[in-house]
């Protein structure tokens, strides 16, 4: 596989699910970096702290905090993704946070 980083990307051409897939990976990497910088602990404890912060409940609270500064387009993409995923529950979905965002 050859990655072409020089190719310009128009993110508006990607589906919300694809954007969420990439966004989740970026978000988890940022969370892991933050935890590693602020916590010196065994790998299992670091992992548990990361899982706590990337779960849907934490992301729901984080969204509520940043929602006022999002553009309308950014907020619409986020809401569209959650509407598409409300029936695709995955393994650890907590319904209440998603329903709050999707309304």
Task: Kindly state the helix (H) or strand (E) to which residue 84 belongs, with its residue range.
Answer: helix 72-85
Residue of 4, 10, 24, 76 marked active site: 24
**Whether 24 is catalytic:** yes
- Between CA 21 and CA 78, with CA 53 as vertex, the angle to 5 degrees is 40
Q: How many helices (H) and strands (E) does the chain have?
A: 5, 0
Residues assigned a catalytic role: 24
């Amino acid at each position: 596989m050859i990655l072409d980083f020089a190719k310009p990307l128009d993110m508006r051409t990607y589906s919300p699910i694809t954007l969420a897939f990439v966004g989740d990976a970026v978000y988890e990497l940022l969370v892991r970096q933050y935890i590693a910088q602020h916590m010196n602990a065994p790998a299992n404890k670091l992992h548990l702290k990361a899982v706590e912060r990337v779960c849907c409940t934490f992301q729901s609270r984080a969204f509520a905090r940043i929602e006022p500064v999002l553009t309308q387009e950014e907020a619409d993409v986020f809401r569209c993704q959650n509407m598409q995923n409300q029936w695709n529950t995955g393994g650890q979905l907590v319904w209440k946070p998603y329903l709050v965002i999707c309304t």
